[in-house]
Structures are given as structure tokens and as C-alpha cells.
Amino acid sequence: MSNLVKYFSLKEIKKSLVITLWFMVLTFPIMVIKVNTIENTVIWRWGYLAIIAIGSFILSTLWRYMMERKSLQAGKESKISLQQKLREMGEKNPRLKRGALAAVVVLVVAYPFATSMYQTGIMTTALMYVVLGLGLNIVVGLGGLLHLGYAAFYAVGAYTYALLHVHFGIGFWVSLPIGAGLATILGILLAIPVLRLRGDYLAIVTLGFGEIVRIILENWNDFSYGPSGIANIPRPTLFGIHFKLQQATIFIYFIMVALVVFTIFIVRRLENSRMGRTWIAMREDEIASQSMGIDITKTKVTTFAIGAFWAGMIGVVFAAKTTFINPASFTLWESIIILCIVVIGGMGSIFGVVVGAGILILLPEYLRAFSQYRMLLFGAILVLMMVFRPGGIVTNVRKVYRIDKEKTGEAE
Amino acid sequence: MVPILETKNLTMDFGGLRAVDNINFHINEGEIVALIGPNGAGKTTFFNCITGVYKPTGGDIFIAPDGTHSERINGLKPNIVTEKGLARTFQNIRLFQNMTVLENVMIGRHCRLSAGILGAILRTKATLAEEKKVVDDSYEILEEIGLTKFANEFAKNLPYGAQRRLEIARAMATDPFLLLLDEPAAGMNPQETKELDEMILHIRKNKKISILLIEHDMSLVMSVSEKIFVVDYGKLIAEGTPDEIKKNPEVIKAYLGDETDA
Ligand SMILES: Nc1ncnc2c1ncn2[C@@H]1O[C@H](COP(=O)(O)OP(=O)(O)O)[C@@H](O)[C@H]1O
Ligand SMILES: [Mg+2]
């Protein structure tokens, strides 16, 4: 409270006033003066100036207040993450945990029956992005390799199913592992040339890679049917049963629920394994991890390969869900959305990715009214995140190992 | 007995700059040897050549972990060198900042473990047993170095002296026969330096690990090391016992004069 009061001190108000003045001067030409070139008159919009003055005064005060609070918090390091709180609550009260879990299960199962087909479709998309986010999270969040071509693996999965269907009549369930497998192989192939690259350079090369894949799909007509894409891809069947549209939508929803559970299960086991530790060590310091006996080549290849696996898998589901694919679905924008899910949700955190996918995929759907400002909001959110919560919404907590030894006395 | 580590005419050029100039060096089993010299003399570069971070431009490096069979290790990758039993710390601390202290040490154990991806996914008996063992072993190392109270802290939250010790703990976790410490006492207060002194002697005695030490703190160097090598401008200018080095006029001129008489 005391530092809030500080913000109404004369000095702070003066600072804000200076900033406000600057804003008024800077925006004066575009916001206030309006030249009507036909009648050769100038309209002075003084009202706008007042709005800018009030707006920038409030915003600058707020901004500096937030910055102050942030620097205060940085010293304390007492940020208990949401995840930690939930976990602690569950440990203290196992019945509550079981109850919450049961509620989630009921909610997930009932969702498609309680809502419309449209809503189910949106939720399925969100679930797909959860898996994509988890996959990219292995590369970016855990491995620390900035990867901007992730959509290429997604495309590989989708085209695998579409082409296998067109040429050989192979179904969804067989294509699922094949798509994931081919994406994995492509992941390995990409990892080899970029072994020596890091940071910005890696980002540029992976970006180029993603575009190359898309451009190939767009131009190699004989192979991929070019920009017109492939239509009439069958939806998934169950033991040979074909569903009607509505049932199929629900069925795909449940497939995605199962795949999300499967992915979380595997990723959790991997990230706390011997291999997962090497990913994080590589992110933290490549030279040190090499000097600790980690084969950095192998580690890079495994992050790319395992990351690509999930994109390939979801690509197959995507083709089956939309029944039509073309290269326009796999642009750089797609890679960036998935990257934002990882970054905004919280790098390296599974729960964070789930939250990130929820925010970035579901919110725009429900805020259609603001769709004009989507990009603007997106950019603003990213900038604010970088300033105030660079670790993402959910900050990752490392596993706490329990040492069950008799002699836990301090060695010091 | 052959030396456990020996360099012959080791040379490292960076463009026109010769950072390491024909250095002949050796360390025998069980010895604590110090490498001293003014800033920029090429000590860290010498370490980097031995541990595979740089590929030396000339000369040879031999190791003989068992004290009998020499093996040339020029140009091997750092992780292979570590597997062969040379472990190091860094002058500018390079811990895995966003991993816990225990995990840092567990990374050190990595090259002595074998669990693969399938083992991790299926949680086979062997993997679980190995994971349990690595936690226990790592904890034991933390006990030895006196860091157990920080076990589940992020490395970046440790006090400076503890970070230096964690670097040593992590290096020891790789089961080395030779530990290379690059200015382990840098930034430590006298009390911490004294503890480090004891720790180095303790490691040598209990773990049978030989130690090669780069250090500026002369009292530490003089008290723990049996033998000192002095480099200046990449060249070896003297070698001998601490007493011999103290008296060596060339060393005094190059280095010690300013440091100890001040
Ligand atoms: N990677 C490098 N590229 C170019 N010059 C280097 C490199 N590493 C070290 N040097 C140079 O080699 C010399 C020795 O450096 P260093 O081994 O760090 O000295 P010391 O550890 O003895 O203080 C210095 O002149 C330094 O600038
Ligand atoms: Mg140095």
C-alpha cells in the first residue's frame, strides 16, 4: 500500500506529466490535425488531444507502478506458482484431489454431448494445439532450441495420411503412426544440418526449412496436388464403422482427448528421465553439458526428432478432421502460433502449454467481436508477457526428489 | 609408472596469437599440481585443449588412467574426454542455473548411466533402479561437499561460494581420475577459501582423485600443491615444488613479485 501512495507523490505525478506531454506532442500531427484536401480546410480535433492526455497519463502511471512492483518481487523470489499451489493442495487433501479429477473427467466426457457440434470442433482444435504445443515445448522449452519451422512436421503428418489414402486407400489408424514416424525421420534430417547453429541462426534456418516444405507442397503438383490440395479425406472409423458427421465430430474429439492424455503421459516420463535431463542441461549451457559428458549431437537430434513426432501425429488427425488439406494450412503463422502457446503458457511446463493453448486458441474463438484487433492484442500480450512474466503464465517447477535415507542430517 | 596426464609440446594458436606455446606438462597419480601465471597467460586455454573444448593446433596430450597404458586424446570431443575420466570446473561458473542442485550433480552422473528412451517411457525395473541409484549417489556427493541443505534449490539461487563448490561436486559426479579446477577460489572470502583447501585435500585422500588446479590465491596454491607449473605468455617458465617456485627469480619477475610481496 505504501508504494501505491508513493505513486501519488508530486515527483511521480511530475514524471507522468512529462510523459503525457511528450505523447501529446508526438501524436499531435496524426491525432489532432485533420486536413481535408478537397475543401482545403484543416479540422482541429482537440477532443482527441484530451483523450490522449488522460489515457497516457493513466497508462504511464500504471506502467511504472507495475515495473516497480516487479522489481520489488524479483528480490523476494517468493513467487509460488499456481501449479505448486494446486499440487500442495492435492497432497494435503487427497479426497479433494480425487474429487477434482473426477469432475474433470466428467466434464471432458460430457462436453461434446452437452454442447453443439461447433463447440466440440473448437475444443478439438484446442486439444490438437495442446499436443502441438507439448511437442514444440520439447524442442523450445526443454531443449532451448528456437524452432520456427514446426508446422512443416505438422504438414508431413497431414500429407502422409492424405496421400496414403489417395494412393493406397490406407486408413486413419494405420496412417497415424506412419505420419508420426515420417515426421520423426524428417526431424532427424533437419537436426543434422543445424547441429552447429544456435539462437537466432537456428531460428532463421528452421524458418527457412518450414517455408521450403510448404513451397514444395505448393509447387510439386504431381506429388502433392499443389495449392488446390487434397479433398475428401475420410474421417476416422472405429473397427470399420463409418460415422455420420455429428458422431464423427464427437469421435474425433475423444480421439484427441486420448491423444492428449497419451502425450502428457509420455512427455512427463521423458522430461524427468535421463534423456530429459540432458535436454534441459543443453538449454542451460551447451559447453558445460558437453564437459559433463553429454553428447550434444545426440541430444539435439533426439529433441528435434521427438518434438517432430507429435506434430506428425496431430497432422494426421488434422487431415482427418478437416477432410481437406492444402499448403495454406501450414504457413509460418502456424509455427508462430504454436511457439506463442509455448512461450505464453510457460516454457518447459506441461501445465503451462495446456493453459497457453486454451488462451490462444479458445479466446479468439469466443472473442470474435474483436477479431479485427486480434493481431494487435496478440502483439500487446506478447510484449507485456516478456516484460512482466518472462517465464510464462505458468512458471515451471523442477521435480523435487525425495531422498529416503536414514541419515538425512546436514553434512555441514 | 607413466604420468596420468602428460602434454608434449602442446600448442594452441588463435589466428596470430599463440595462447599456449609448446607446453610440456605432466601430473602423476595422486598428485595435486597447480598451474599459475598472470591473467591472459593461457591457463584456461590449456585446460580447454586438454578437455577437448579446443582442438590443439600442435603437440600431443596423453592420459593413462591406470598408470600404465598411455592413450592419445588430442581432438576428442569434450564428452568423450569426460567419459575417459577427466572432469573440470569453469573459471566463470557454468552451472545449469535453472536446474536444482541435485539435478546438476545428476547430470554429472549422466555418462555413467545407460537408461534409454524406451526405458524411460516404460519405466522398466532397470531404469527405476538406476534412477534411484543416481539420486542416492548424487546426494552422497552433496553430503561430501556439504551442499545437502540446498539439494532442491535452483543452482542460480545459491550463494557464490556454494556455486563454486557445486561446480566441483558436479565434476566429481562423473567419476574422474583427474579433476581440473579452474580458479576454484575466485571470489571466495578467506573462510571459504580455507574450506576449499580442506575439501581439495579431502577429495584427493578419500576419492583417490588427482587434482590439477589453476589458482591465483597464492596461499591456497602453496598450501595444497606438491608441484607448481608457471606459465607466462603461453610459455612454461618454471616448474618445481612450492619452495623452489617461491625462490625462482624468473617467476618472481613475471608474477609472484607483484602478488605476494604486495
Ligand atoms: N577463443 C579464443 N579466441 C581468441 N583468443 C583467445 C580465445 N581464448 C583465449 N584467447 C586468448 O588467449 C590468451 C590466454 O587466455 P586464457 O587462457 O583465458 O588466459 P588465463 O586463463 O591464463 O587468464 C588471452 O590473450 C586470450 O585473449
Ligand atoms: Mg583463465
CATH code of the domain in which B3 resides: 3.40.50.300
DSSP code at position A158: H
Do A275 and A232 belong to one domain?
yes
Cell, residue B93: 561458473
Judge whether B91 lies within some domain: no
Neighbours of ion ligand 2 (CB under 5 A): B 44, 91
Do A274 and A337 belong to one domain?
yes
Report d(CA A231, CA A322) in Å as an integer: 9
pLDDT given for residue A80 in this prediction: 54
Do B75 and B181 belong to one domain?
yes
Question: B209 to chain A, minimum CA–CA distance in Å?
Answer: 17
Do B63 and B189 belong to one domain?
yes
Evaluate if residue A267 carries a pLDDT over 90. Answer: yes
Number of domains in chain A: 3
Judge whether A160 lies within some domain: yes
Per-residue pLDDT averaged across B184-192, rounded?
89
Kindly determine whether residue B146 and residue A291, on different chains, have CB atoms separated by under 8 Å: no
Do B114 and B148 belong to one domain?
yes
> pLDDT tens across B25-76, in order?
999 999 999 999 888 999 999 999 999 999 999 999 999 988 788 899 998 9
Judge whether B122 lies within some domain: yes
Judge whether B31 lies within some domain: yes
Report d(CA B150, CA B101) in Å as an integer: 7
Nearest CA to ligand 1 atom 9: B45
Question: Model confidence at A78, in pLDDT bands (50, 70, 90)?
Answer: very low
Per-residue pLDDT averaged across A106-129, rounded?
89
> pLDDT tens across B61-118, in order?
999 988 788 899 998 999 999 999 999 999 999 999 989 999 999 999 998 888 888 8
Q: Among A207-211, A221-225, A287-291, which stretch is predicted with the lowest mean pLDDT? A: A221-225
Concatenated DSSP letters of A85-144: HHHHHHHH-HHHHHHHHHHHHHHHHHHHHHS-HHHHHHHHHHHHHHHHHHHHHIIIIIT-
Kindly determine whether residue B152 and residue A401, on different chains, have CB atoms separated by under 8 Å: yes
Per-residue pLDDT averaged across A341-370, rounded?
83
For the beta carbon of residue B184, count every other beta carbon within 10 angstroms: 26
Question: Model confidence at A409, in pLDDT bands (50, 70, 90)?
Answer: very low
Atom of ligand 1 lying closest to residue B48 CA:
17
Evaluate if residue B257 carries a pLDDT over 60. Answer: no
Judge whether A187 lies within some domain: yes
Q: Among A153-157, A392-396, A408-412, B238-242, which stretch is predicted with the lowest mean pLDDT? A: A408-412
Nearest CA to ligand 1 atom 3: B14
Number of domains in chain B: 2
Do B69 and B7 belong to one domain?
yes
Do A67 and A88 belong to one domain?
no
CA B152 to centroid of chain Cα atoms? 25
Pairwise pLDDT comparison (B252 vs B192), residue with the higher score: B192
Which residues between 111 and 150 in chain B have a beta carbon less than 8 angstroms from any beta carbon of chain A? 111-113, 115-117, 119-121, 123, 127, 130-131, 134-136, 139, 142-149
Domain end: B152, B174, B196, which one?
Answer: B174
Evaluate if residue A407 carries a pLDDT over 60. Answer: no
Do B163 and B221 belong to one domain?
no
Judge whether B239 lies within some domain: yes
Do B49 and B122 belong to one domain?
no
Evaluate if residue A246 carries a pLDDT over 60. Answer: yes
Judge whether B90 lies within some domain: no
Do A236 and A384 belong to one domain?
yes
Cell, residue A13: 505525478
Do A65 and A169 belong to one domain?
no
Evaluate if residue B167 carries a pLDDT over 90. Answer: yes
Do A371 and A291 belong to one domain?
yes
Report d(CA A357, CA A354) in Å as an integer: 5
Q: Which of A51-55, B1-5, B52-56 has the highest mean pLDDT?
A: B52-56
Do A298 and A344 belong to one domain?
yes
Do A251 and A337 belong to one domain?
yes
Do A96 and A134 belong to one domain?
no
pLDDT given for residue A213 in this prediction: 92
Do A66 and A105 belong to one domain?
no
Judge whether A395 lies within some domain: no
Spell out a b/e string for B110-141, using b for 16 or more CB atoms within 10 Å of the CB, else e: bbebebebebbbeeeeebeebbeebbebbbbb
Do A129 and A99 belong to one domain?
no
B90 close contact with A: CB closer than 8 A: yes
How far does residue B50's CA lie from ligand 2's centre (Å)?
Answer: 14
Kindly determine whether residue B100 and residue A403, on different chains, have CB atoms separated by under 8 Å: no
Judge whether A397 lies within some domain: no
For testing the chain B interface, which of A292, A300, A408 should be mutated: the one with the most B CBs within 10 Å? A292
pLDDT given for residue A302 in this prediction: 93
pLDDT given for residue A411 in this prediction: 37
> β-pairing, B178-182 with B86-88?
parallel
How many beta-carbon pairs below 8 A join chains A and B?
133
Judge whether A16 lies within some domain: yes
Evaluate if residue B261 carries a pLDDT over 70. Answer: no
CA A403 to centroid of chain Cα atoms? 35
Per-residue pLDDT averaged across B142-162, rounded?
90
Question: Model confidence at B262, in pLDDT bands (50, 70, 90)?
Answer: very low
Judge whether B48 lies within some domain: yes
B106 close contact with A: CB closer than 8 A: yes
Concatenated DSSP letters of B218-232: HHHHHHH-SEEEEEE
> pLDDT tens across A160-178, in order?
999 999 999 888 999 999 9
List the domain range (segments joined by +) for residue B208: 1-85+176-262
Do B107 and B165 belong to one domain?
yes
List the domain range (segments joined by +) for residue A90: 80-112
Judge whether A394 lies within some domain: no
Per-residue pLDDT averaged across A259-282, rounded?
93
Do B77 and B196 belong to one domain?
yes
- Nearest CB to A270 within list B87, B108, B121: B121
Kindly determine whether residue B107 and residue A289, on different chains, have CB atoms separated by under 8 Å: yes
Domain end: B140, B174, B208, which one?
Answer: B174
**Does any ligand 1 atom lie closer than 6 A to the CB of residue B43?**
yes
> β-pairing, A41-44 with B71-72?
unpaired
Nearest CA to ligand 1 atom 25: B40
Evaluate if residue B212 carries a pLDDT over 50. Answer: yes
Judge whether A15 lies within some domain: yes
- Nearest CB to B146 within list A285, A400, A412: A412
Evaluate if residue B122 carries a pLDDT over 80. Answer: yes
Do B229 and B245 belong to one domain?
yes
